[in-house]
Amino acid sequence: MNLEQLVRKNVWEMKPYSSARDEFKGEASVYLDANENPLNDKYNRYPDPLQWKLKEKIAQVKGVNPEKIFLGNGSDEPIDLVIRIFCEPRIDNIVAIDPTYGMYQVCANVNDVEYRKVLLNENFNFKADELLKNTDEKTKIIFLCSPNNPTGNLLDTKEIEKTLESFDGIVVVDEAYIDFASEATWLTRLHKYPNLIILQTFSKAWGLAAVRLGMAFASPEIIKLFNKVKYPYNVNILTQNFVNDELDKLALRKEWIQILLNGRDYLKEELSKLPFVEKIYPTDANFLLVKVDDANSLYKQLAGKGVIVRNRNTVSLCVGCLRITVGTDEENKKLIETLQNI
């Protein structure tokens, strides 16, 4: 892979914005370099644009070098940035599995980049050859999501491997749900694939969706490109400090994951007893994709009783399906009781 050939020319050649916080690094007693107001101590100073303190801590938890980490305003930021870095609008294209997370296509559309969907098979898995057949010399990115949303399954390791080895563009593997999965993260193999970008997030297993922090892991060369294109202060100090403290609660997070996996088992068992449930798809995430006899009607009836699930009836391969997130024990019970009384 030749990174320079892959990156948009304007991005490769541009000089990034240099902020006051970039220019002077170190300790001083008087800071008069950033036009800040000195009178509101604690929140008056611009935060570290590269969030080094937080990255060091994440690096420890994830076993990755901090230079291989990009932090963004949710995963949605690196999804948008990767398209802006690599894809020339109206010229380059993106290939992705279908169905999958909707933001890849939305960001492609916003950036005026062609988005090619390759339908998964009936087991919601894919063949690398099938994806690669849909690429051409203008394909810059392949998006994979494992465990996939809304299907819940892990993608086949061998096929991801083959994609990484055969495609000389960027392969993004979105691991938003990896903490609930029975297989290991791709992080341990990051060093083997210079074209791999792994996305993870604090929004799911960490229980911090409101805080907005997403991670991208890639080679230091790719991370440098992200840093070049991002807004200078894309992660605010409240988020940086808060997540820094949350990272100490590793044991609690493990407990949460176990509670949610137990809840998932409970839902699987109880849902399978309902006469209108036709199929519960295997899942490695904190949600279940469930095929029912009439998804639209069931969705409305549930909503009428204050229980909201996601109607996926119009999504490819998901006709008749509802996507149900695992809740608290109480919420799961309420869902099942409501369904039993329909």
Ligand X SMILES: *Cc1c(COP(=O)(O)O)cnc(C)c1O
Binding track, positions 81-120, relative to ligand X; x by CB under 6 A: --------------------x-------------------
Q: Counting contacts by CB under 6 A, is residue 239 touching ligand X?
A: no
- CB neighbours of 303 closer than 8 A, spacing ≥ 6? none
Least gap, CB of 30 to ligand X (angstroms): 38
What CA–CA distances, in Å, run from 330 to 54, 266, 285, 308, 334?
35, 12, 20, 14, 6
One character per residue 174-193, x = contact with ligand X (rule: CB under 6 A):
x-x-----------------
Q: Tell me how far the alpha carbon of residue 116 is from its chain's centroid.
A: 19
**In the complex, least distance from residue 51 CB atom to ligand X, rounded to whole angstroms:** 15
Contact segment (CB under 6 A) with ligand X among 154-162, 203-211, 239-247, 309-317 equals 203-211
Asked if 76 interacts with ligand X (CB under 6 A), we say yes
Chain mean position to CA 148: 10
- Whose CA is closest to 113, among 96, 130, 131? 96
Specify the stretch interacting with ligand X by CB under 6 A; choose among 74-82, 127-135, 179-187, 296-304: 74-82
- Region binding ligand X by CB under 6 A among candidate stretches 127-135, 198-206, 297-305, 314-322: 198-206
DSSP string, 249-290: -HHHHHHHHHHHHHHHHHHHHHHHTSTTEEEE---SSSEEEE
DSSP 8-state assignment for residue 97: E
Please give the residues from 118 up to 177 whose contact with ligand X meets the rule CB under 6 A. 145, 149, 174, 176
Residue 277 pairs with which residues in a beta bridge? 292
CA–CA separation, 310 vs 74, rounded Å? 21
Q: Considering only 80-88, 113-121, 200-208, 218-226, which stretch makes contact with ligand X by CB under 6 A?
A: 200-208
Hunting for tokens 């798809």 — which residue is that? 281
Question: Nearer to ligand X by C-beta: 76 or 179?
Answer: 76
Cβ-proximal residue to ligand X, closest one: 74
> What are the residues binding ligand X (CB under 6 A)?
74-76, 101, 145, 149, 174, 176, 201, 203-204, 209, 214
